[in-house]
Amino acid sequence: MSFSFPEISIPVFSFLGIFGLYMACYVLYSLFNIFHLVKYGIAGNGLFLIVFTFLGGTILLVAASIFLLLPYDWTYAIPLNQITDVFNENVAL
Amino acid sequence: MNLHHLPNQRPNEHVVLFLRRHWFSLLRIGCAFALLTILPLSLLWYFWNSVSVWIQEPFLGPLLTMVGCMYFLSIWLFVFLEFTDYYLDTWIITNERVLNIEQEGLFKRTSSELDLASVQDATAETRGFFETMFSYGNLFVQTAGEKVRFHFKSIGHPEYVKELLMRHVQEDKQRVVHTKETK
């Protein structure tokens, strides 16, 4: 028994769409969070420090993500046949 | 919000006590953050020989890296959402009112107030090992009506807060009686 897919390839950059969607949600939630903190928090240095820490941490994490993701070849596409090859090899065993 | 300009502030009203949940609540958020960060990093370090091969794969590499980045960004956001919840849950006792402001998630906020003169009694509750060790607990404020009690959640030194509150309740009741008599 073996599976085979038609000659279709999945480009790696298609995952960037999922990442982009995730980042959009992240930004939306972050903005809501900051809005609540600024609007309802007690005005002062403490509040400034909290917002600054959150934004600083976010910027660091996004920068690290870009730094880690940038070196990959995003034009690479994997043919679906190759995925089924692994499955078929396991079945043959 | 500014403590010198409370919502619906009355003349001669001043803040007696400003309360948030005890720092132990913050410690729990910190511990969750540490655990959710350190555990995957430890696993990554332990299985680095295998992981370093996977992340060089042209297909699996970007996928794993992306999932990792999304995980750590989610942890950071989750911790700050929890912190916001902690930070915005406040109870303010003034010489005339009790204000209860509670944030539940990002899209629910409850703000209520109670005249000190309408307070019937208050109950301080400390139960459990950590609450006893770190002197924090709950305070329930009961009014004359059938309205649900005000609940001060996990505040520090609830007994002291109760005594202070009841002292101001007595003072406010006397002030109300005095105001009626002078009219």
Please say if the pLDDT value at position A1 is more than 90.
no
Closest CA relative to residue A35, chosen from B30, B111, B103, B22: B103
Interface test with B, best of A29, A39, A47 (most B CBs within 10 A): A29
Report how far residue B29's alpha carbon sits from residue B128's, in angstroms, rounded to the nearest whole number: 19
CB < 8 Å to A65, chain B = 69, 73
Report how far residue B174's alpha carbon sits from residue B117's, in angstroms, rounded to the nearest whole number: 9
Report how far residue B173's alpha carbon sits from residue B116's, in angstroms, rounded to the nearest whole number: 8
Contact B137, B155 (CB under 8 A): yes
Q: Using the beta-carbon criterion (under 8 Å), do B106 and A15 form an inter-chain contact?
A: no
Task: Give per-residue pLDDT as tens, B10-50.
Answer: 778 888 999 999 999 999 999 999 999 999 999 999 999 99
Closest CA relative to residue B139, chosen from B157, B156, B125: B125
In the CATH scheme, what is the code of domain B14-183?
2.30.29.30
Q: Using the beta-carbon criterion (under 8 Å), do B76 and A76 form an inter-chain contact?
A: no
Q: Bridge-partner residues for B152, per DSSP?
A: B139
User: What residues have CB less than 8 Å from A5, skipping those under 6 apart?
Assistant: A80, A81, A83, A84
What does pLDDT average to over chain B?
88
Q: What is the pLDDT of residue B177?
A: 82
Closest CA relative to residue B62, chosen from A23, A79, A78: A78
Write the DSSP symbol of residue A77.
E
Q: Where do the structural domains in chain B lie, given as residue ranges?
A: 14-183
Reading the block at residue B74, the tokens are: 């989610």
> Which pairs count as long-range contacts for B147-151, CB under 8 Å and 24+ apart, including other chains?
B150/B98, B150/B100, B150/B112, B150/B114, B151/B100
Q: Bridge-partner residues for B150, per DSSP?
A: B141
Closest CA relative to residue B142, chosen from B168, B167, B116: B116
Q: What is the pLDDT of residue B83?
A: 93
Task: Give per-residue pLDDT as tens, B18-27.
Answer: 999 999 999 9
Q: Using the beta-carbon criterion (under 8 Å), do B62 and A74 form an inter-chain contact?
A: yes
Q: Using the beta-carbon criterion (under 8 Å), do A54 and B80 form an inter-chain contact?
A: yes
Q: Using the beta-carbon criterion (under 8 Å), do A50 and B81 form an inter-chain contact?
A: no
B67: contact with A, CB 8 A cutoff: no
User: What residues have CB less than 8 Å from B89, skipping those under 6 apart?
Assistant: B20, B21, B101, B102, B103, B153
Contact B104, A36 (CB under 8 A): no
Q: What is the pLDDT of residue A4?
A: 62
User: For a pLDDT cut of 90, what percent of chain B falls above it?
Assistant: 56
Supply the pTM of this predicted model: 0.82
Report how far residue B77's alpha carbon sits from residue B86's, in angstroms, rounded to the nearest whole number: 14
Task: Give per-residue pLDDT as tens, B128-176.
Answer: 999 999 999 999 998 877 666 788 999 999 999 999 999 999 888 888 7
pLDDT category, B126, cuts 50, 70, 90?
Answer: very high
Q: Which residue of B has its CA nearest to A54?
A: B80
Angle at B18 between CA B83 and CA B89, to 5 degrees: 30
Contact A50, B87 (CB under 8 A): yes
3-state secondary structure labels for all residues of B29-98:
HHHHHHHHHHHHHHHHHHCHHHHHHHCCCCCHHHHHHHHHHHHHHHHHHHHHHHHHHHHHCEEEEECCEE
Reading the block at residue B31, the tokens are: 């511990």
Q: Using the beta-carbon criterion (under 8 Å), do A50 and B101 form an inter-chain contact?
A: no
A35: contact with B, CB 8 A cutoff: no
